[in-house]
């Protein structure tokens, strides 16, 4: 395995996935869901597996002090380039730290944060528990823990919509799949992750869907991302829509 296993995927993530309407919608939906739970600006936020800073940089612009921990030097270099284009008052509110998220507490000198984010990371781990344990150790009493994970209960939807009926039939009982970027991914459930958080003293506060319509249908490049996001936000917070989403956003509170 290469020293930086994400280096070859950096272009696909930063210039590909995040640059599409679907990627911009995901970032915007998560951002607005977070704002309903975050303390006021100037609070300290830890973004574990934060990559190029797509989720944390908008928070820094609002006044939050953000620390991004990521194991990929290439992804952190992309984050640094994006941060360099920001005004000085935003730049000074962002700190980049290289290292595995499972050691986030050690890498940040055991600091405790008002909010700890981990979005789109658990799906690439064989076992989510070491990462979740670290996230919870980093959260201050009353602090937010926010995770976004692949929804194991909707893995049959994509192959069915693509007419891969044998794959769809097998996916009903599967917990893994090959993601859209060609990488192996693993699904979780809201109840399963909530139980693991609860074992660390973090109680579930809310959960939302992410990527319902925006993931199951092809969206043209000239589509209005704001309009798509408004529909996604409405679906994300109500049943039965949120349960059908491609990924889910689980929010918990420490202590």
* From 57-61, 93-97, 158-162, 198-202, the region with the lowest mean pLDDT: 158-162
**Residue that the structure tokens 């996230």 belong to:** 135
Share of the chain above pLDDT 90, in %: 79
Is 7 or 236 the better-scoring residue by pLDDT? 236
Find, among 139, 148, 147, the residue nearest to 43 by Cα.
139
pTM of the model: 0.93
CATH fold, domain 7-152+184-254, is Rossmann fold (3.40.50)
pLDDT (tens digit, 9 = 90+) per residue, 66-116? Answer: 999 999 999 999 999 999 999 999 999 999 999 999 999 999 999 999 999
With contact defined as beta carbons under 8 Å apart, do 254 and 201 qualify?
yes
**Residue that the structure tokens 């044998």 belong to:** 166
Rounded to an integer, the average pLDDT of 169-188 is: 89
pLDDT (tens digit, 9 = 90+) per residue, 25-40? Answer: 889 999 999 999 999 9
């Amino acid at each position: 395995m290469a020293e930086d296993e994400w280096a070859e995927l950096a272009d696909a993530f930063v210039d590909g996935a995040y640059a599409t309407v679907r990627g911009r919608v995901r970032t915007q939906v998560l951002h607005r869901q977070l704002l309903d739970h975050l303390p006021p600006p100037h609070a300290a936020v830890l973004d574990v597996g934060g990559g190029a800073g797509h989720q944390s940089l908008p928070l820094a612009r609002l006044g939050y002090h953000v620390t991004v921990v990521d194991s990929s030097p290439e992804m952190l270099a992309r984050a640094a380039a994006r941060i360099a284009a920001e005004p000085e008052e935003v730049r000074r509110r962002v700190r980049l730290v290289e290292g595995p998220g499972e050691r986030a507490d050690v890498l940040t000198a055991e600091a405790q944060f008002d909010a700890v984010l981990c979005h789109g990371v658990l799906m690439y781990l064989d076992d989510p528990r070491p990462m979740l344990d670290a996230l919870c150790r980093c959260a201050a009493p009353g602090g937010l823990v926010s995770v976004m994970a692949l929804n194991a209960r909707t893995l049959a939807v994509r192959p069915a919509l693509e007419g891969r009926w044998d794959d769809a039939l097998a996916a009903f009982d599967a917990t893994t799949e090959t993601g859209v970027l060609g990488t192996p991914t693993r699904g979780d459930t809201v109840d399963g992750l909530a139980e693991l958080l609860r074992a660390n003293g973090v109680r579930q506060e809310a959960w939302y869907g992410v990527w319902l319509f925006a993931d199951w249908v092809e969206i043209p490049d000239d589509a209005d991302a704001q309009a798509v996001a408004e529909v996604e936000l409405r679906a994300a917070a109500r049943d039965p829509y949120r349960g059908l989403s491609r990924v889910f956003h689980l929010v918990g509170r420490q202590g």
